[in-house]
Amino acid sequence: MVLVGPMGVGKSTVGALLAERLGCGYRDTDEDIVAEQGRTVADIFVDEGEPAFRGIEKRAVGRALAEHDGVLALGGGSVLDPDTRALLAGHTVVYLSMDVEEAVKRTGLNTARPLLAVNPRRQWRDLMEARRHLYTEVAQAVVPTDGRTPEEVAAAVLDAL
Ligand code: S3P
């Protein structure tokens, strides 16, 4: 199962819970990238820019899908790349969603996430506008997370499948 959705929605926490409940492994493409590159995602953005990061991410998603049979969480912007979206065909993909206010509340002024460094509310609105339809396009199920605990979200994912 593949989890997509915006940063801060809880893909890692919910993904680990789901893996535990399903008795399978959990993997996260952001973690794969950091391990492979030996630097943080934020550093890759600063050093090489977003387009280069998306290329690195596309390769990481391809590898993870080929090698891993459990729960896989993708970075929030992975769906921007059409090749990455095409890689998801034939996989069970779940979109964890949240509204803009929930996103602002959860991520706050988290500067470790390079896309939110300035004016988080406005950037969240733009980001959701640009990506919502892409998450929906690749996913078989949409599970809202607003006001839910990770345990409740994990249960809702299992119900939705
Ligand atoms: C990004 C989301 C991040 C990470 C990078 C870019 C995005 O992943 O890949 O900072 O464009 O939304 P998470 O969704 O795991 O935080």
Model confidence at 114: pLDDT above 70:
no
Mean pLDDT of the chain: 93
Looking at ligand 1, which atom is closest to the CA of residue 73?
Answer: 15
User: Which of 51, 12, 10, 48 is CA-nearest to residue 32?
Assistant: 12
Q: What is the mean pLDDT of residues 72-88?
A: 97
Cα–Cα distance for residue pair 50/53, rounded to 1 Å: 5
Check which CATH number belongs to the domain holding 62 and give it.
3.40.50.300
Q: What is the mean pLDDT of residues 27-41?
A: 97
Q: What is the CA(155)–ligand 1 centre distance, in A?
A: 24
Pick the residue whose CA is nearest to atom 7 on ligand 1. Answer: 77
Q: Which helix (H) or strand (E) holds 61?
A: helix 50-67
Cα–Cα distance for residue pair 104/31, rounded to 1 Å: 23
Give the chain's domain count: 1
- Which ipTM was obtained for this model? 0.97
Claim: this prediction has a pTM higher than 0.95: no
Looking at ligand 1, which atom is closest to the CA of residue 9?
Answer: 14
Cβ < 6 Å from ligand 1: which residues? Answer: 7, 11, 30, 41, 75-77, 113-115
Each residue's pLDDT tens digit, 6-21: 999 999 999 999 999 9
Residue 154: predicted pLDDT: 98
Residue 64: predicted pLDDT: 98
146 annotated binding-site participant: no
Higher pLDDT, 55 or 122: 55
Pick the residue whose CA is nearest to atom 4 on ligand 1. Answer: 75
Each residue's pLDDT tens digit, 36-63: 999 999 999 999 999 999 999 999 999 9
Domain around 119: 2-160
Model confidence at 116: pLDDT above 70:
no
Token output for 4: 């997509």
Cα–Cα distance for residue pair 36/108, rounded to 1 Å: 29
